[in-house]
Structure 1
Amino acid sequence: MSERDEVPRLDLLRFLERVQERDLARTRAWIEAEERRLAEIAARRPPPPPPDYVVQNGIGRGPALVHQGFCEPQGARVGAIPEDEARRLLDSDAGLACQLCRPDTALGLL
């Protein structure tokens, strides 16, 4: 092959780039399909049962309220706690009981 018959190196690199872009697009399509499949599986699963009790923490000062799990207070400072922890918190301060779901009544503290 003479120098005139050779494909310029830049053309070869552009060809390689197109092939790799096509492969990348195909891989991204596979990823999207797998994400959709996993989302469909997750949507078919029943949600986990709510915890028995949750604590809603105040801003920098410890627990603010104790709730029964079905009360579902919103916010980032909410966490599940076991029954004995809820009982301990309410024994130490009865004012921590949520006035809507009344965890103190459910625990037999009233």
Structure 2
Amino acid sequence: MSDEPSSPELEKLRFLYRVQLGQVAQTERWIEAELAKLRERAARLPRLEGPEYVLSYLRAGGHPAPDSVHRGDCRMVSHHTKPLDRQQALQAITTGGIRACEICRPDSELGVLE
């Protein structure tokens, strides 16, 4: 026999706990299945062709002023851009004094530590 105290209420709570663990496990399986569907769908989508990186410009006093470097597929880029290759993007962020987009994080992709 066990020396652990027991009661009908405690047994009900232990049963409820086991049921809830099963529900959490089921929810985790559903999440994994949905992620698998999303990954499969994303893999079937054609990759948009375009520049790997872009330099986004803002208008300052009627003239374009370099603002930030983005990955080519970033949705936060302005309408005024210039395509950049990897080396140009790296140079713009490291020595050009141009900030990297905080959303798409091209600096992380380029290996720049800030």
With structure 1 as the length reference, what TM-score do the two structures score? 0.49
Query: Which structure is higher in strand share?
Result: 2
Q: TM-score, normalised by structure 2?
A: 0.48
- Kindly indicate which of the two structures has a greater share of residues assigned to helix: 1
Query: Larger Cα Rg: Structure 1 or Structure 2?
Result: 1
